[in-house]
Amino acid sequence: MKNIEALIDDGGDITLGAIYPIKCAATAADGHNSVAMLVRREGETLNALLKRLDKAIGKFYDGGDAVDEINGC
């Protein structure tokens, strides 16, 4: 999960857990921007959610496009 590692090495952070009313979400921020906000899918493992988060962070690094599943963007 190279993109998560790079984000954290650069001072960013990730969070896993409930964000009311969502039962489980994964978020990533680089200190200035929200990079990704994902909602855990029904039946999705935490490992699969982390892999999707890693890909979403990579998408942000490649083109500056944040992924937001929480706010419907």
Q: Tokens 């999707």: give the residue.
A: 52
CA distance 44 to 72: 19
pLDDT of residue 60: 96
> Residues 49, 4: contact at Cβ < 8 Å?
no
Q: Copy the structure tokens of residue 31.
A: 């200190």
Both ends of the chain: CA-CA distance in Å? Answer: 24
Average pLDDT, the chain: 95
Q: Taking the domains of the chain in order of start, what are their residue ranges?
A: 2-68
Q: How far apart are CA 43 and CA 40, in angstroms?
A: 8
Q: Under a CB-based contact definition with an 8 Å cutoff, are residues 52 and 38 in contact?
A: yes
Give yes or no for residue 50 having a pLDDT over 90.
yes
Quote the pLDDT of residue 64.
Answer: 87
Position 73 pLDDT exceeds 70: no
Question: Coil, strand, or helix at residue 32?
Answer: coil
**pLDDT band (50, 70, 90) for residue 23:** very high
